[in-house]
DNA sequence: GTAAAAACTTGATCTAGATCAAGAGTTTGA
DNA sequence: TCAAACTCTTGATCTAGATCAAGTTTTTAC
């Protein structure tokens, strides 16, 4: 299992009648950037991903769906831009339509500890700050350029009360988040560093190639050096 | 902060008019057992604690409250008795009225890893097994003699649908559980063994004297030996 | 296009906490 | 009531992963 090289060859060729293949060119291409480009081209309206998510997760009438959309606030983040900074009170429920975001704390020595990653089709934010209306201990910033749909918490609660299907969806997400957190605790208690990494790659395929290793190491509770060595070892096998 | 001795002296004496004190006797007494005895004497009906909890957490009509009680299944566990065993599917929502329970996994070497403790006024069970209707990876057993109120999940969901206040309470618990799990992850990533212990004692005063050290060590992700040494060190200060 | 800043790798050394072992105290159950 | 089974403590030793340091590659920004 070799490290995915960022730049990879792309071959251009044409198949001509008679079975011969005419070779044009090879260029080196950054697959990840290309994929992002495609996704952007396809999404003429980037909230449509949220629309699609709602359709999958819930059964809404047209009116309900429009009601939800009417409360949606669209937000774009450039890479490294903050969504939430430590000390601020978080006031939203946030759904990611495109991109990737990390939630982390900074300790007194300046070390960053990644608490979670969130990508398209996931929710992000600080529930504790939101619920208790207290300053957040977390920072949230964008790992890639990111697009979100925000709801103020008042609107969000209103939607929960008005639309049972929406409420069910929220409940469901919360349960899954809790289960995921439980599993993470379990992993951190029982697994070795190597097992933690393999478990992560296995559970979230795609994350590993998209998120800087330093951050993954932090998420898994180890140093970047250790992760680098583990990757080297596992690549051999 | 010295280790709490299980058997402690209790002095019997009387104050006589004129300021003299008449001394009777000293006996050694197990405060913990005595406390439990008192609690049991006071609770002529042990579901009343659940009743009290509901009254505190929610605003229910008399009818709603009776409806909830009508679905309640009372269960008693002796110390060490299982509530759930690995491989079984968990089908309830469970509220503890008295006692203490632990949730843990067993690894292939036979080592036990405590995932959580739950005491009076808390909920317990395996959400993952319940939600996905799949065999549980967890064991739950009683650390002390324990009394619970169970609801089958169907009844529980019925109550959630019927009684908005009940639904809100459940939502609230879930949010708090999720926040607690997040904080635990945070602690396990950032704190040293000693800090983890102090954080635990600080956050859950009362747990430390009630739960065997081996289990606390496991919960905190360290060996009993390490915890023993930490306790010795912090006692000095 | 290029210099500065990040991100990643590799090696040498160190340390918090694990493991192993053995004794003392406590609880359990026939 | 007493032996067996836990639970806790303490010491000696070991090790996974941290820390420190220096080189290489990749990304960023002017």
Q: How far is the CA of B143 from the C1' of D6 (A)?
A: 14
pLDDT given at position A47: 56
Two tokens, residue B181: 């799990």
B22 pLDDT tier (thresholds 50, 70, 90):
very low
Whether the CB of B32 is less than 7 Å away from nucleic strand D comes out as no
Q: How far is the CA of B226 from the C1' of C20 (A)?
A: 14
Identify which of B190, B184, B197 has the alpha carbon closest to the alpha carbon of residue B233: B197
A102–chain B Cβ distance below 8 A for any pair: no
Helix (H) or strand (E) run with residue B49 in it? helix B48-57
pLDDT given at position A191: 93
pLDDT given at position A125: 94
Q: What is the pLDDT of residues A139-191, one digit of tens each?
A: 999 999 888 899 999 999 999 888 888 888 888 888 999 999 999 999 999 99
- Residue of chain A nearest B182, judged by CA positions: A181
pLDDT given at position A167: 86
Identify which of B41, B66, B45 has the alpha carbon closest to the alpha carbon of residue B55: B66
- Confidence check: pLDDT of B28 > 70: no
More confident residue, A30 or B56: B56
Over its C-alpha atoms, chain A yields an Rg (Å, rounded) of 21
Whether the CB of A223 is less than 7 Å away from nucleic strand D comes out as yes
Using CA atoms, how far apart are residues B110 and A177, in angstroms rounded to an integer?
A: 29
SS3 B88: coil
Q: Say how far residue A111 (Cα) sits from the centre of its chain.
A: 22
Q: What is the pLDDT of residues B172-206, one digit of tens each?
A: 888 999 999 999 999 999 999 999 999 999 999 88
Whether the CB of B231 is less than 7 Å away from nucleic strand D comes out as yes
Using CA atoms, how far apart are residues B113 and A192, in angstroms rounded to an integer?
A: 14
Helix (H) or strand (E) run with residue A97 in it? strand A92-98
The structural domains of chain A, with segments of one domain joined by +, span 191-237
* Lookup result for tokens 């350029």: A145
Eight-state DSSP code of residue A4: P
Burial A76-110 (b: 16+ CB within 10 A, else e): ebeeeeebbebeeebbbbbbbbbbbbbbbbeeeee
End-to-end CA gap in chain B = 8
pLDDT given at position B47: 56
Q: How far is the CA of A136 from the C1' of D23 (A)?
A: 39
* 10-residue averages of pLDDT along chain A (237 residues): 38 38 41 42 51 78 84 87 94 90 89 91 92 94 90 92 87 90 92 95 89 95 96 84
pTM of the entire structure? 0.79
Whether the CB of A229 is less than 7 Å away from nucleic strand C comes out as yes
pLDDT given at position A237: 63
- Confidence check: pLDDT of B111 > 50: yes
Identify which of B91, B100, B66, B101 has the alpha carbon closest to the alpha carbon of residue B156: B91
Two tokens, residue B104: 């843990």
Two tokens, residue B199: 């954080």
A41–chain B Cβ distance below 8 A for any pair: no
Any idea what the Cα angle at residue A16 is, between residues A11 and A18, rounded to 5°? 135
Two tokens, residue B222: 């360290």
Asked if the Cβ–Cβ distance from A178 to B178 is below 8 Å, we say yes
Asked if the Cβ–Cβ distance from A185 to B115 is below 8 Å, we say yes
């Amino acid at each position: 299992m070799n490290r995915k090289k960022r730049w990879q060859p792309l071959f251009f060729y044409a198949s001509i009648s008679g079975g011969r293949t005419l070779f044009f060119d090879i260029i080196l291409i950054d697959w990840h950037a290309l994929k992002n480009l495609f996704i952007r081209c396809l999404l003429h309206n980037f909230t449509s991903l949220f629309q699609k998510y709602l359709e999958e997760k819930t059964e809404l009438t047209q009116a309900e769906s429009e009601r939800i959309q009417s409360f949606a606030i669209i937000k774009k983040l450039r890479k490294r831009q903050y969504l939430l900074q430590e000390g601020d009170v978080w006031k939203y429920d946030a759904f990611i339509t495109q991109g990737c975001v990390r939630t982390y704390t900074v300790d007194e020595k300046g070390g960053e500890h990644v608490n979670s990653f969130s990508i398209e089709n996931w929710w992000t934010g600080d529930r504790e700050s939101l619920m208790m209306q207290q300053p957040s201990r977390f920072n949230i910033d964008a790992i890639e350029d990111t697009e979100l749909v925000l709801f103020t918490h008042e609107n969000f609660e209103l939607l929960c009360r008005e639309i049972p299907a929406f409420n069910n969806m929220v409940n469901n997400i919360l349960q899954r988040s809790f289960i995921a957190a439980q599993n993470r605790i379990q992993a951190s208690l029982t697994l070795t560093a190597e097992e933690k990494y393999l478990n992560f790659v296995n559970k979230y395929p795609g994350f590993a190639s998209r998120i800087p290793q330093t951050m993954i190491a932090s998420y898994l509770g180890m140093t970047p050096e250790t992760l680098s060595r583990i990757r080297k070892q596992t690549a051999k096998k």
